[in-house]
Structure 1
Amino acid sequence: MNGDLTKGPVMKSMLIFAVPMILGNLLQQCYNVADTLIVGQFIGSDALAAVGSAFTLMTFLTSILLGLCMGSGTLFSIRFGQKDEEGLKEAMCTSFLLIAALAVILNFLAFLCLDGISVFLRVPADVWPLMREYLVVIFCGIPAVFLYNYFASLLRSVGNSVVPLVFLGVSAVLNIALDLWFVIGLKRGVAGAAEATVIAQYVSGVGLMVYYWLRFPKLRVQRRHLRLHRACIREIGSFSILTCVQQSVMNLGILMVQGLVNSFGPAVMAAFAAAVKIDSFAYMPVQDFGNAFSTFIAQNYGAGKKERIRAGLKGAVITAAVFGILVSAVVWIGARQLMLIFVNAGETEIISEGVRYLHIEGAFYCGIGCLFL
């Protein structure tokens, strides 16, 4: 299913395209949420604190790759809107080589700096062994995160936002099943939770790559394309740097806060871990709507349809603002009930701290929504 966003009713076409992206990213959040939920309920609060801190770090690292893939996707969409098949292939090869190289570097640096992470994030001594055990495994999934996000951006750029959702749905179900088996059945602890996540990530990443290769023979690159194209490097940089900063700045801020939170001990760490998961679910839909909006803008820019872009911008701002108000109300009213999903009812200190966080964070979702456009 290839979607041409340069035709049809503006908001209808944008929303239809955005819904699978929103569902897909919500499923992607289920990877670590499954770890957090199962670890918190079946291992304990120290393990929950360890996995939560690791999640914050991994979110920051993967947000860099996600931003670069999204920026490349904008260029892909422009080429698609221009019907420039050769230019699309050149952009695909150049961006793949650049981002793959960065993924390898990130992976190497993550392992190299592993023991320094405890100092940087002020991880308590009783939590660090569990966090280190989790990170050693979860870092192995960075290449899979790159593969999935790259090919998902490529498919979305040509209007196909459904197939990435399907692959992500399969891998999310697999992740939950493996989490239950490894953690509860095999007693593998936090390492088992990480192993389940990494296996599921490779299923979605490699699976989507194989689907693209089989489904789009006309877009298969030839040997002549397998190099860095100078013009594409400049264009990819102009789009990707902005989206990379947009995606990573907020997560870098959360990572800095994580370091401060860790100094207060395991209970506050566990509260923050659960609250951040809820927070990510709250703003993720409008973030993905912003990604869909970027594809809409890029395709119509490539097709030279400026009036359509103006109409889309107006509708997108209104949609983001209304969503922000609604989700703020839901998080504010249901903060305690949402915390109970991750934490046993007897952990009153953890629940109380998490509710305080959500009440403050929830007041700003409207502004955050417009930020992603």
Structure 2
Amino acid sequence: MKNENLLTEGNVFRVLLSFSVPFLIANVIQALYGAVDLMVIGWYCPPESVAAVSTGTQVTQIITSMVSGLTLGGTILVGKYTGMRDEKRTERTIGTTLSVFAIVALVLTLVMLLLRVPVLEALKTPDASFDMAKQYVTICFCGIFFICGYNAISAILRGYGDSKRPMYFAALSCVLNIIGDVVFVKYMGMGVAGTALATVGSQAVSMVCSIIYLNRRKFIFTFRLKNFKIYPELARELAVVGIPISFQECMVRLSFLYLTSVTNRLGVSAAAAVGIASKYDVFAMLPATSLASALAAITAQNYGAGKLKRAGQSLAAGIGFAFLASSLFFLWAQISPQTMIGVFNSDPAIIEAGIPFFRSCSYDYLAVSFVFCLNGYMNGRSKTVFTMVSCCFGALALRMPLIWLAYTYCPENLAVIGAIAPAVSGFMAAYTMVFVLRQIQKDKRSRF
């Protein structure tokens, strides 16, 4: 399969849009997994089930964040060697990435199954929801191999410059997930377990279909056992680039898990409201997260090709697009937060608890447009240590202590708790912008 998706040529704006729009659609589709799970549970099951799925989803998102961080390392390396037109090293990078992820998947499965109860206890999962949350995460953890494989293949394709096929695979998985949710929950009465089975099963089918399709299309890498080799030098490079990204994703997710543990102590209504808000966070921030990941691939290819100015132009365009798109959700949250909550659950207590939280936390939709895109650009340059330190500082030194202070001194005020995320993101955007501008100036001086 000849690569006709080089990101180093053509109009900057057109390339960014044509590459990032399928990326955005794929991410929207993936986000529908958790949203559909929560909707179906909210429609056909009691509030305790909603709290169980929202808490369980927060736990499984740690795995997804860890995996997506490592796979982004694969995207960056594949993008770099694709930009350098080094097909042999590109193929070896793909083989190394997939082999490493097979091992990581098996280790994660064992570790998370052993830690599932302590993790749920640490999150202060409500007693009424505990057993159901445990059931949910157990099934999801058994499907970690498919989560790793599914994300790794998509990330490799994006690094190669192809964002359309991952979108098709995500669409297949989402359709299967929706069908599974309705069948397992509504018609078979499996409740929380049904939503977990639908998610894992849909990703498994999508992963297998993607492998069959790519082999038939003669992709640069052939999915055969003999090609799954770990090349030490590439594995080290993957670790250097990917582990910091994975670690920062986990620390950010940890800070939001801490928020979940705090709001779980405020009762089922508050826990459900914040759980619903977390679903909107995913959708509202999708333009920023999608463009950030797209920028990582675009920047990696252009740096591999020595086109530094083009990478900077892509960053500026990405921030503009992300901000405009995220503004739509921000305005909705400010004007009519009750309708946002009502999409998932019509319980008056949940709506009342959620309105002030939605209005304050929605400012984060705008702030992360800058943070994510700037980090995506830096990741594409393999400056992943900086983004790791920055994100860990924001999560551990700012967000978590501020949540603790808010809970300690004004526990009933969800508006204050919700305002913490945008305040931290705004601060991070400011100092990251300064760092990026300095790097761009250094690039200009190095060329003279």
Match of 1:150 in 2: 152
The Cα shift of 1:142 comes to 1.3
Alignment of 1:119-268 (within 5 A): 119-220=121-222, 226-268=228-270
Of 48-57 and 118-127, deviating more is: 118-127
Of 318-327 and 233-242, deviating more is: 318-327
Of 274-283 and 304-313, deviating more is: 304-313
Query: Quick one: distance in 2 between partners of 1:215 and 1:190?
Result: 38
Structure 1 counterpart of 2:93, one-letter code = A
The Cα shift of 1:305 comes to 1.2
Structure with greater contact order relative to length (CA < 8 Å, sep ≥ 6)? 1
Contact 1:89 1:221 in 2 (8 A): no
Structure 1 counterpart of 2:16, one-letter code = M
Contact 1:49 1:270 in 2 (8 A): yes
Contact 1:120 1:259 in 2 (8 A): yes
Query: Quick one: distance in 1 between partners of 2:131 and 2:225?
Result: 47
Structure 2 counterpart of 1:348, one-letter code = P
Query: Quick one: distance in 2 between partners of 1:131 and 1:219?
Result: 39
- Superposed CA deviations along residues 293-317 of structure 1, whole A, max 9, x for unmatched, are 1111111111111221122222223
Contact 1:147 1:206 in 2 (8 A): no
The Cα shift of 1:221 comes to 6.8
Match of 1:63 in 2: 65
The Cα shift of 1:74 comes to 0.6
Of 5-14 and 87-96, deviating more is: 87-96
Match of 2:398 in 1: none
Query: Quick one: distance in 2 between partners of 1:204 and 1:217?
Result: 17
Match of 1:24 in 2: 26
Residue 96 in structure 1 maps to residue 98 in structure 2: yes
Contact 2:326 2:366 in 1 (8 A): yes
The Cα shift of 1:37 comes to 0.3
The Cα shift of 1:341 comes to 0.6
SS in 1 for 2:128: coil
Contact 1:151 1:212 in 2 (8 A): no
Contact 2:7 2:301 in 1 (8 A): yes
Contact 2:215 2:223 in 1 (8 A): no
Match of 1:342 in 2: 344
Structure 2 counterpart of 1:64, one-letter code = M
- Superposed CA deviations along residues 227-269 of structure 1, whole A, max 9, x for unmatched, are 3222212321232123223433322211111111111222211
The Cα shift of 1:225 comes to 5.4
Residue 286 in structure 1 maps to residue 288 in structure 2: yes
- Superposed CA deviations along residues 204-227 of structure 1, whole A, max 9, x for unmatched, are 222222222222354327877543
Query: Quick one: distance in 2 between partners of 1:221 and 1:178?
Result: 28
Contact 2:53 2:192 in 1 (8 A): yes
Structure 1 counterpart of 2:333, one-letter code = V
Query: Quick one: distance in 1 between partners of 2:95 and 2:168?
Result: 25
Query: Quick one: distance in 2 between partners of 1:182 and 1:219?
Result: 37
Structure 1 counterpart of 2:53, one-letter code = V
TM-score of the pair, normalised by structure 2: 0.79
Query: Quick one: distance in 1 between partners of 2:345 and 2:333?
Result: 16
Structure 1 stretches of 5 or more lacking a match? none
Alignment of 1:311-350 (within 5 A): 311-344=313-346, 347-350=347-350
Structure 2 counterpart of 1:170, one-letter code = L
Structure 2 counterpart of 1:99, one-letter code = F
Query: Quick one: distance in 1 between partners of 2:198 and 2:143?
Result: 10
Contact 1:323 1:366 in 2 (8 A): no
Query: Quick one: distance in 1 between partners of 2:228 and 2:163?
Result: 26
- Superposed CA deviations along residues 114-165 of structure 1, whole A, max 9, x for unmatched, are 2212321111221101111222212122111111111101111222111111
Residue 81 in structure 1 maps to residue 87 in structure 2: no
Match of 2:358 in 1: 358
Query: Quick one: distance in 1 between partners of 2:226 and 2:136?
Result: 42
Cα 1:137–1:226, aligned 2, differ >3 Å: closer, same or farther?
A: closer
Match of 2:370 in 1: 370
Q: Give the counterpart of 1:298 among 300, 303, 307.
A: 300
Query: Quick one: distance in 2 between partners of 1:253 and 1:349?
Result: 26
Query: Quick one: distance in 1 between partners of 2:265 and 2:108?
Result: 26
Query: Quick one: distance in 2 between partners of 1:286 and 1:358?
Result: 19
Contact 1:6 1:303 in 2 (8 A): yes
Structure 2 stretches of 5 or more lacking a match? 374-448
Structure 1 counterpart of 2:183, one-letter code = W
TM-score of the pair, normalised by structure 1: 0.94
